[in-house]
Amino acid sequence: MIKKLKAAIFTGANKPFEIKEFDITPPKKGMARLDLEASGVCGTDVHFHTGKLLLEPPKVIGHEYVGRVVDISEEDSKKFGINAGDVAIVDIACPCGECKLCKSGDDANCVNMAVTNGGNPYEVPYFHGGFAETTYAPIENLIKLPENVDPLAACVFACPGPTAIHAFNLAKKAGVDLSDVSLAVVQGTGPVGCMAIAYLKALNVKKIFALVADITNDNLNLVKKLGADDIIDVKNKSDAEIGELIKNASDGLGADLVFEASGNPKAIPTGFEILRNRGVYLVPGQYSNSGEISIMPQLITFKALHIIGSSQYNICDVKEYVDFISKDFKLQEIIKSLASCYTVSDINVAFDDAKARKNIKTVLVKEG
Ligand SMILES: [Zn+2]
Ligand SMILES: [Zn+2]
């Protein structure tokens, strides 16, 4: 009997995913097939499903896939140094390599960006994206996990990790000396914010504060474990009051660096307020249209702020993320504990729970 495996088909905004079984076919040259170890539900996927980001159905979405290579030709195996049995993260980005951005090293923001998971699930090889029990990917898009990296841990921050790292890398590219940061503030404690805290801690930043709209024991314990010194509840506090707290913690100066990971437009004027003169504002978190906000643009001038937007990441950031967590077993244990696991068949429950913010990280894993 021909083996069939399941894929969850995105059928449109606010519609249930359909679970379908498809045949397994051999991968084309340059491609490998990987069986599911863990596949994360990203905020972007939730935005697709609520219709905040538009996406044409039908598709197999999901871009945080960690899988075990089960089918690869001998020739490709030799060429790419990837073997059957290896576990790898699939990076879905396919920059063109030709445009001005690609040529200047900014391929994360290629103007002709294609993705590996854009195919029609009713066309061979059916399994294009991450919400499936198996997937096909170009081998050049695979980042192999070393033995000391847990596949589930790697999956939890598979996209938030490189997203945060990319923002820091853009700062370095813009000449920011991150070793000079002594007080940093992270706005939001979702996966991107958590990764930013862990990264800042690894940089030995002296004081790290997290700003949240809702303190719970869970997020308090989590950010402290990741290395934040304190958490500030921004609810019912004016920007001036928050600014005062940060100034008091920094000899009256303000924050050297603020990292926006809340996605709340209101975070932006707060960021302007708490930064010191010539402070650096990294903004990778505003990932959907969540409304307008009034700002005081004169603060950009008066404080001579250095504002750096960041979107997407490239395959080097994914590699850097894997290297980063491979050095820190404790960090892997912490991030692994954030996963709430479901099977592909349970994807609709997984999405309901993700939308209801029941989980810090929703992950699909193999059955049994
Ligand atoms: Zn993502
Ligand atoms: Zn390009």
- End of a domain among 269, 288, 309? 309
Cα 64 to ligand 1 centroid, rounded to whole Å: 7
8 and 133 in a common domain: yes
183 and 286 part of one domain: yes
Q: Give the end of a domain, one of 278, 309, 340.
A: 309
The answer to whether residues 299 and 176 belong to one domain is yes
* Number of residues assigned to the chain: 368
Q: Give mean pLDDT, residues 86-110.
A: 97
pTM of the model: 0.95
172 contacts: CB under 8 Å, gap ≥ 6:
178
Q: Encoding tokens for residue 307? A: 């504002």
- 146 with 284, same domain: the answer is no
**Distance of CA 23 from the midpoint of ligand 1 (Å):** 27
Residues with CB under 5 A from ligand 2 (ion): 95-96, 99, 102, 110
Ligand nearest to the CA of 45: 1
Of 309, 326, 356, the one marking the end of a domain is 309
Span 148-170, pLDDT tens digits:
999 999 999 999 999 999 999 99
Q: What tens digit of pLDDT does each residue of 9-23 get?
A: 999 999 999 999 999
**CA 18 from centroid of its chain's CA atoms:** 25
Distance 46 CA to ligand 1 centre (A): 10
- How far is Cα 23 from Cα 280, in angstroms, rounded to an integer? 51
Q: How far is the CA of 246 from the centre of ligand 1 (A)?
A: 31
Cβ atoms of 314 and 95 within 8 Å: the answer is: yes
Q: Assign residue 170 the CATH number of its domain.
A: 3.40.50.720
Residues 59-78 have a mean pLDDT of: 97
* Six token digits for residue 187: 């706005």
Q: Tokens 């660096």 sit at which residue?
A: 257
Q: Are residues 83 and 110 in the same domain?
A: yes
Q: What is the three-class DSSP state of 214? A: coil
To the nearest whole percent, how much of the chain has pLDDT over 90?
92
| Coil, helix or strand at residue 240 | helix
Residues 66 and 203 grouped into a single domain = no
Q: Identify the residue whose tokens are 């892997």.
A: 332
Ligand 1 center from residue 179 Cα (angstroms):
28
Domain encompassing residue 291: 162-309
- Whether residues 262 and 339 fall in one domain: no
Number of separate domains in the chain = 2
Q: Are residues 153 and 34 in the same domain?
A: yes
Task: Looking at the structure, tell me whether residues 279 and 326 fall in a common domain.
Answer: no
343: CA distance to ligand 2 center in Å? 35
pLDDT at residue 1 above 60?
no
Is the previous residue joined to 58 through a cis bond, with omega within 30 degrees of 0? yes
Specify whether the CB–CB gap between 339 and 7 falls below 8 A.
Answer: no
The rounded distance, in Å, linking the Cα atoms of 7 and 34 is 13
CA–centroid distance for 191 within its chain: 7
pLDDT of residue 216: 83
